[in-house]
Amino acid sequence: MTRWDIEPSFKYDALCFLNILTADTFYLTYYKDEYEKFKPKLSPEVIKALSDMKHILKDENGTIISAFLCLYYSAVEDSTLEQMSTRLDNLQLMDDNMKKTPYYSEDTWKLLASQKNNLNVIFKFLMDIDFTKYWQENILPKVQNKISEIEPKLPSYDIVKEDEEMLGFKLPSDKITVYMLYYSQPHGIRVTGMRFLTDIAWPFNIVIRNAAHEMMHPPYDILHDSELKKAIESMGQDTFLIDKVLHHNPSFGYNTLEGLMEEDCVQTLEQIVNEKLGIAKDAKKRWTESDDSIHVFAIALYQVMKEKNYNVKGEKFRDFLVRNITNGTLAAGKIKEYYDRFYKTE
């Protein structure tokens, strides 16, 4: 059975708060009032650091600031602004720990290191205004109330068992840790280990869906699998799919073919788990409304998995995916056909 742990986290909430401080309109949709509270306190130096960080991380490299920083800081035990700031003076432990995970790459590590000065300025600002006290007095009670509401319901859902059956391999633990936050909308964020971040704004079913989803990232090991990598790269020849990669709101993430393919695979697996558990959103409605309707590979994969009654034989999802791309079932050029069939009016 899945063992559940659900708790607040100042560290992750503070890092997610940086999305808002950048004045990114994507996040002000959710947190305009919060931004207005802190805007008068922002000095020119802090505004510049926030602007530079957003430009480099999001505008130039297509990363989600909160997800990027939360992932890297999840590799160390730092829990206060002081500790996070001090960490910037010596990143070796973070580097060593990240290298033990599936998420490490030299390019993203260099990207993090490039933000040391900006982060120092921002963390110092948050310390100067005593953001910790503000969070403890104004945010933590709301988070604790949400935890009290959903915690008793969690043991009824054996997400680890369901995910292992879908992936075709064992997860590293039977324990899932949920960090309940206030500032993470609209993202669900996976961090290192069997842990993910969710938000108090979402109802219980979404928390369970997020758990099923985030625990399946990554659903395969593309860094050490040349056959899989070749199959996924071949999908770059699908003009309908690659158009979604190139022309969508980058704030949603998934700004590379590899990133969108992984997300769509996990969304499909998660959708089937959710349907089994009776908590699924209608698939057609989900993929029409989600992230500017970019998840077109998920729509194709979902139909193939249903048609072939996936997982009856307990095979690895990776094998199923590679086989159906290479044998032509899901080959480049087929995705629009599946999309049109899915939304065809009866």
* Each residue's pLDDT tens digit, 181-237: 999 999 989 999 999 999 999 999 999 999 999 999 999 999 899 999 999 999 999
Query: 276 is written with which tokens?
Result: 């089994």
Please give the pLDDT value at position 346. 45
- For the chain, the domain total comes to 2
In a domain, 194, yes or no: no
Q: What mean pLDDT, rounded, does the chain reach?
A: 95
In a domain, 90, yes or no: yes
Domain boundary among 106, 130, 154: 130
- Mean pLDDT along residues 125-146: 98
Which amino acid is located at 138 in the chain?
A: N
Q: Is the peptide bond before 218 cis (omega within 30 degrees of 0)?
A: yes
In a domain, 64, yes or no: yes
Query: 343 is written with which tokens?
Result: 């939304």
Alpha carbons 43 and 185: distance in angstroms, whole number:
26
Domain boundary among 105, 130, 155: 130
The share of the chain scoring above pLDDT 90, in percent, equals: 91
**54 and 66 Cβ atoms separated by less than 8 Å:** no
Place of tokens 């998420």: 103
Q: Is the pLDDT assigned to residue 20 strictly greater than 50?
A: yes
Residue from 112, 140, 193 nearest 14 by CA: 140
In a domain, 160, yes or no: no
Name the band, by pLDDT with cuts 50, 70 and 90, for residue 345: low
The answer to whether residues 125 and 19 belong to one domain is yes
Which amino acid is located at 198 in the chain?
A: T
> Per-residue pLDDT tens for 231-275?
999 999 999 999 999 988 888 888 899 999 999 999 999 999 999
Domain containing 33 equals 11-130
Distances (CA, A) of 233 to 34, 230, 317, 322: 42, 5, 17, 11
- Mean pLDDT along residues 82-97: 96
